[in-house]
Amino acid sequence: MLPDLNEFLVRLKSLFSKRRLDNEMAEELEFHQTLLREKLLRHGVPQSELDTATRKTFGNQSRWQERIRELWQFRAIENLRRDVSFSIRLLRKSPGFTAIALLTLALGVGANTSVFSLINGLLLRPLPVPNAQQLAVLRMEEGGPVPNYSFITPFFRSLESRHDLFANVFAYNPDKFQVKGQSGNENVVGVLVSGQYFQALQTPPLLGRYLTPEDDRPGGSSAGLAVVISERFWKSWFNRAPDAIGRKLIVANVPFTVVGVMPKRFIGADPTQRPQIFAPLSADPIIDAPRNHIDGGIHAWWLTVVARMNPGMTIDQANAALLAVSNPILHEASTDASFTTEEERGHFHFAAEPGSRGFTYARILFRKPLIAMFSMCGGILLLACLNLTSLLMARSAARERELATRLALGATRRRLIHQLLIESLLIAIIGTALGLVAAPLVSRSLGAMLMSANFAEQVQLDTSLDLRVFLFAALIAVTTAVLIGLVPALQATGGDLNEHIKEGQSANKANQSRKVLPRVLMTLQVALALVLVAGAGLLATSLVKLYKSGAGFDPNGLVNIAFSMDKQQLEGDQLMQVYQHIGEELEHQPGVKSASFEFIVPLSHRGWNGRYSAPGAEPKLMWMNAVGPKYFATMQIPLFMGREFTWSDTKASGLKVILNQSAAKLLFPNRNALGEQITDPSTKTSYEVIAVVGDTKYNDMRAPASAIGYVPIQQDEQEKPSLTAVIRLDPTHNQQAPLAAAAHAIASRLAPTIPAPTLTSMSEIMDNSIGAERMMAVLAIFFAGCALLVTGIGLYGTLAYSTARRTSEIGIRMALGAQRAGVIALIFRENAVVALAGCGTGLVAAILASRALASFLYETSPRDPWILVSSVAALTCIASAASLLPAIRASKIEPITAIRCE
């Protein structure tokens, strides 16, 4: 055992002191040779023959050195070091090839890693809490096509009280809290949490304590209302003061006591949220005032519910337990028989699913787009591998004589394949590293674009590189090295040595069969590029049609300024007077053409609907909005008949409503809606129709125009509505910064206790509303451009290598009378055949693959002939351009020079 250990230590030592050991070995060999010379002299060998006799006895000194090195070196490591060093020298000798190879791989790997980082952050990464695998997200099956993840308070409280079901059950609801700072109220990202929230997530606080069930009671615990803050909030608001625990924090004009600070790593149960304040769920009537979700009962579906299962419990066991309690809880929740009957008709029951990754609605919305993008990225990586395989095969073909000579001198085929694969692995590793460098920036940009599509500004997606991403990149590197290196290595080291060593026409004839595989690979590359280009064309056309479909109003020059009025003192008519003054002052700002107000911002993914009926008809579902005077003129929505609202349209003047065309046709299909009455059956309230306006998109650009009813903001049921000012700017004076400053100044004077108003352009809202489609189209166009570039490089490089090998043949042809035009046609024909075969194959594949994009397209056929023809034309142009330069270069070969090469 001890000799083996000593041998290992000597080998290990040799890795770091090779030069010293070589010197020692040389000294030892010289010592033994000296001893041998002395011995030979004693036996009478003449001085002149000593060196010859010594060499004859010892043999080749270099061979002895190699054999001794094998005794104290790790042979595999030494061979690897030599192969890496040799590969680096080869790559440095071909800077053009190396640059193209690395950039091609960096593009493919960077795209895949960036999108995988998105998928990892949204779909794969577990919550940073202990034993996350024990968490389960609860949902309700109600007979609909998709489950319901939003709970009502009675359902949650019943589940929370049944301690025999799970170790813990908690609920939460992300929100914005109005917190009083040094300069007035500010909006802070927060979350309302139930009493078992922190206990279930098992993350100890950094300071103080976390909230408990005693805090989750009306009015708080015996010590009063309490909140827990994040480490980031502790740093920005309290400057990390140790005495922050126990201080008062004014939230929604009510004092709360800070009882704990959570560490930075704690993000809660939603991976897309970064809450700064955690408040008890029972404080909702205070924080969300004047709204009250708790008292809303069966009409307020607002909670996300998560459970921590008991140790050893499985999801199947959890589902069985939930199924047993579903019906009793349903009947406990409400005395409304119609509600219970409707839920039972849909076979209502609770269910659980794995919750180690927490819950976010973004996961449901973006799963399919992310998978589609990842498929496109896979296509780009495969395209890059095909391209590099073709280039390496052409490059290896140019090195056939060198490799054959090495085989003839005693190198084994396995050893040469190993060396060629190391070269491929080196390219793959460096390309992967370059892709990893770019991946974080790209993934953050994509994540911001994706999250802004349907969520508020506080939503974030963690796309940082973690072990899972690095393992994915390592897998890509190894797979890429095998894909791009194995086939060229096998082909370059196979065949007849004599034919490889020869140069000239005989070798070309013997290798005719070896030209088939590169052409097949290039055909597949063209076909794959055509699929990506066609897909990009479909998505881009769909996006253009989506923009051209219009929203029913002109978004250019339209700005929204949101005011948070729900926590200030004024309400009712007094608050409306404040809004009127704000509107008048905004309208007098430089560059403002008109101003109005709205409760629901179109395409913001917020909604308000209700059922309304015409006299003698069944109630119909309509979307609703509360808007101010001059709203339709400001939005540039056509007014077909009637009048707009005025500030005199108060509740005392009678309830009014304006219908869009779709709503008028829905409620009054056979008559003029103007002057008619519509009724809300739930409140028995009637509204007079005073106008009919044009259709607009409500909350989805892809959906057809909905039936919409508009009521005056003065007649809104809310006493303290938070409205958004709609500003139409003059195109010649489209300056938003001065307008934002003016809005802040006006709000500070007329409503000094509210947070600073936020300004957003309508064009930005429209872009965000189709963020997923826009990102897919942008990426698809980028990938298509890269596919065309990579394909062009591949065709050019492969043809250039093959043309260089045919120098003597072309020279002989020209010496025998071939014209330059004929030579150009001869060379050009090689790529033309590949391009045509690839386009034909790719056309079939594109038609089949386009079905997968059908659900992402808007008013665009997956088999649009114009897009397919344009894609083929683009590939044909690229192939022609890539073929022209080698063909022209071949036609300029001087016959005498080519024959001398032979």
pLDDT in tens, 152-163: 999 999 999 998
Which three-class secondary structure state does DSSP give residue 229?
strand
Range 109-134 burial, b when 16+ CB lie within 10 A, else e: bbbbbbbbbbbbbbeebebebeebeb
The answer on pLDDT for 69 being more than 80 is no
d(CA 93, CA 155): 71
The answer on pLDDT for 505 being more than 50 is no
Report the pLDDT averaged over residues 358-370. Answer: 85
- Say which residues have a Cβ less than 8 Å from residue 286's Cβ, sequence separation at least 6: 225, 251, 252, 254
DSSP 309-345: PPTT--HHHHHHHHHHHHHHHHHHH---HHHHHHHHH
pLDDT for 506: 41
What is the residue type of 637?
A: I
pLDDT for 499: 56
Lowest mean pLDDT of 48-57, 290-299, 411-420, 729-738, name the range: 48-57
The answer on pLDDT for 632 being more than 70 is yes
Nearest to 303 by CA among 392, 402, 197: 197
The answer on pLDDT for 1 being more than 50 is no
Report the pLDDT averaged over residues 763-781. Answer: 82
pLDDT for 51: 72
Helix H segments across 358-503?
Answer: 361-398, 400-408, 413-451, 467-493, 497-501
Q: Do residues 622 and 609 make contact, with C-beta atoms less than 8 angstroms apart?
A: yes
Report the pLDDT averaged over residues 691-701. Answer: 91
pLDDT for 413: 75
The answer on pLDDT for 644 being more than 60 is yes
What percentage of the chain reaches a pLDDT higher than 70? 86
The answer on pLDDT for 6 being more than 80 is no
pLDDT for 893: 65
pLDDT for 718: 82
- Give, in order, the Cα–Cα distances in Å from 132 to each of 120, 168, 201, 317, 366: 16, 13, 8, 18, 23
Nearest to 322 by CA among 359, 282, 347, 352: 352
Which tokens sit at 420?
């060629």
What is the residue type of 419?
A: Q
Pairing of strands 620-627, 184-193: unpaired
Report the pLDDT averaged over residues 485-509. Answer: 59
- C-alpha angle 103-108-114 in degrees, rounded to nearest 5: 115
- Higher pLDDT pick, 689 / 336: 689
The answer on pLDDT for 635 being more than 60 is yes
**CB atoms inside a 10 Å sphere around CB 839:** 21
Helix H segments across 512-596?
Answer: 516-549, 572-587
d(CA 679, CA 709): 12
Q: What is the pLDDT of residues 836-880, one digit of tens each?
A: 888 888 888 888 888 888 888 888 888 888 888 888 888 888 877
Range 531-549 burial, b when 16+ CB lie within 10 A, else e: bbbbbbbbbbbbbeebbee
Q: How far, rounded to the nearest angstrom, does the alpha carbon of residue 400 sit from its chain's CA centroid?
A: 44
pLDDT for 235: 94
CB-based burial of residue 275 (10 Å sphere; 0-12 exposed, 13-18 middle, 19+ buried)?
buried
pLDDT for 58: 66
Q: What is the pLDDT of residues 564-604, one digit of tens each?
A: 888 888 888 899 999 999 999 999 998 899 999 999 999 88
- pLDDT class of 507 with cuts at 50, 70, 90: very low
Query: Is the four-CA dihedral 894, 897, 901, 902 of positive or negative sign?
Result: positive
d(CA 546, CA 565): 35
The answer on pLDDT for 677 being more than 90 is yes
- Say which residues have a Cβ less than 8 Å from residue 471's Cβ, sequence separation at least 6: none
- pLDDT class of 314 with cuts at 50, 70, 90: very high
Range 623-645 burial, b when 16+ CB lie within 10 A, else e: bbbbbbbbbbebbbbeeeebebb
d(CA 531, CA 536): 9
pLDDT for 508: 46
What percentage of the chain reaches a pLDDT higher than 90? 32
Q: Do residues 521 and 798 make contact, with C-beta atoms less than 8 angstroms apart?
A: no
Report the pLDDT averaged over residues 425-445. Answer: 84
Pairing of strands 254-262, 207-208: antiparallel
Of these ranges, 258-267, 547-556, 804-813, the one predicted with the greatest mean pLDDT is: 258-267
Query: Per DSSP, what are the bridge partners of residue 261?
Result: 207, 229
Q: Do residues 743 and 586 make contact, with C-beta atoms less than 8 angstroms apart?
A: yes
Query: Per DSSP, what are the bridge partners of residue 176?
Result: 189
The answer on pLDDT for 806 being more than 50 is yes
- Higher pLDDT pick, 341 / 90: 341
Pairing of strands 248-251, 304-308: unpaired
CB-based burial of residue 754 (10 Å sphere; 0-12 exposed, 13-18 middle, 19+ buried)?
buried
Report the pLDDT averaged over residues 345-368. Answer: 89
Of these ranges, 389-398, 405-414, 679-688, the one predicted with the greatest mean pLDDT is: 679-688
Report the pLDDT averaged over residues 84-95. Answer: 81
Lowest mean pLDDT of 85-99, 136-150, 274-288, name the range: 85-99
- Give, in order, the Cα–Cα distances in Å from 341 to each of 142, 149, 330, 346, 349: 12, 20, 10, 9, 13
* H or E element that contains 76: helix 75-93
Which tokens sit at 387?
């391209």
Which three-class secondary structure state does DSSP give residue 125?
coil
- pLDDT class of 59 with cuts at 50, 70, 90: low
The answer on pLDDT for 713 being more than 90 is yes
The answer on pLDDT for 18 being more than 70 is no
Which three-class secondary structure state does DSSP give residue 467?
helix
DSSP 273-312: ---SEEEEGGGHHHHTTT--TTTTGGG---BEEEEEPPTT
- Higher pLDDT pick, 43 / 211: 211
- pLDDT class of 892 with cuts at 50, 70, 90: low
The answer on pLDDT for 193 being more than 60 is yes
Exposure on the CB side of residue 801, measured as CA atoms within 13 A = 20
- Higher pLDDT pick, 872 / 899: 872
d(CA 109, CA 135): 34
- Say which residues have a Cβ less than 8 Å from residue 168's Cβ, sequence separation at least 6: 196, 199, 200, 307, 308
The answer on pLDDT for 468 being more than 50 is yes
